[in-house]
Homo-oligomer: A and B are copies of this chain.
Amino acid sequence: MPGTDIVLDGDGPLHQQIRRAIARPILAGAWAPGRRIPSEHELMARFGVSRMTVNRALASLAGEGLVERKRKSGTVVAAPSAERAVFEIWDISAEIARAGATHAMRLLLRETAEATQVEADRLRVPTGTPVLRLLLCHSAKGAPVQLEERLVSVRAAPAILDERFETIAPGRWLLDHVPWTEAEHSIRAAEASPEIAHHLRIGPGAACLVVERRTWRGDEPITFARLTSPAGAQVLIGRFRPAGER
């Protein structure tokens, strides 16, 4: 098969290398859902490893829902699930597009500064660290659906200073340019402050869903985002199985 760009990076255990080699084109969108992945025998031969090692990598990808495996028919790229979108992607523009609505974005603030005490706490960096401050309002069908307050550590993503964010959202840009290894979400309800209410065109004190996300690359904080949506504009859905299963 030409065009199969799966290569091992030589970093870490073989089964993790194989897993990454296959996960990479799937997550990047290069392999469309339904595309067939080489069989275990083919991968054995290609990488010169035993079948157990290949199986371990593929079984793990199947456990995460990135691929689906069926006897006889083989392994194929799985359709992205809403669950994965919730806990992995967090790209509001993609979510809006998936819902079939048109997405618009307004950049309300963009400035570099040294982190204040409060910002440093949020981003988990020392006070005075250079940061990029962003404030954006995302709309679907003309109605505001999410206010994005974001801090980005300039040290973790220096190239972000060249980006104007006229068409691409900061979350998307970061996903594309800065690999992350760890993320933390916190989810809560809150009443809209006057400023947030103004931007979202809702009454002050109206119920909002607030998601805060931090990401790291190793021990290095990358970004802090607070995403505020009016009640009803966003529902997070997750599917789970008992810890003893799977």
Inter-subunit contact A185/B244 (CB<8 Å): no
Number of copies: 2
Inter-subunit contact B27/A184 (CB<8 Å): no
Which of B64, B66, B190, B241 is close to A182, meaning CB atoms less than 8 Å apart? B241
Residue of B at shortest CB range from A239? B184
Residue of B at shortest CB range from A65? B243
- Within the complex, the shortest CB–CB distance from A214 to chain B, in Å, comes to 10
A242 to B188, CA, bound (A): 23
What B residues does A24 contact at CB under 8 A?
244
What B residues does A19 contact at CB under 8 A?
244
Inter-subunit contact A187/B243 (CB<8 Å): no
A191 to B232, CA, bound (A): 10
Inter-subunit contact A237/B185 (CB<8 Å): yes
A209 at the A/B interface (Cβ < 8 Å)? yes
Q: How many residues of A contact B (CB 8 A)?
A: 48
Inter-subunit contact B87/A238 (CB<8 Å): yes
Inter-subunit contact B181/A238 (CB<8 Å): no
A residues neighboring B (CB under 8 Å): 16, 19-20, 23-24, 27, 52, 60, 64, 66, 84, 87-88, 179-191, 205-210, 229, 231-232, 234-246
- Known contacts A207-B207, A207-B231; A187/B242 CB under 8 A: no
Inter-subunit contact B183/A243 (CB<8 Å): no
The 8 closest A-B CB pairs, nearest first, are A23-B244, A207-B207, A189-B209, A189-B189, A187-B236, A189-B231, A20-B244, A188-B235
What B residues does A238 contact at CB under 8 A?
87, 184-187
26 A-B contacts (beta carbon < 8 Å): A16-B245, A20-B244, A20-B245, A23-B242, A23-B243, A23-B244, A27-B242, A52-B52, A66-B243, A87-B238, A182-B239, A183-B240, A183-B241, A184-B237, A184-B238, A185-B238, A186-B235, A186-B237, A187-B187, A187-B237, A187-B238, A188-B232, A189-B189, A189-B229, A191-B231, A207-B207
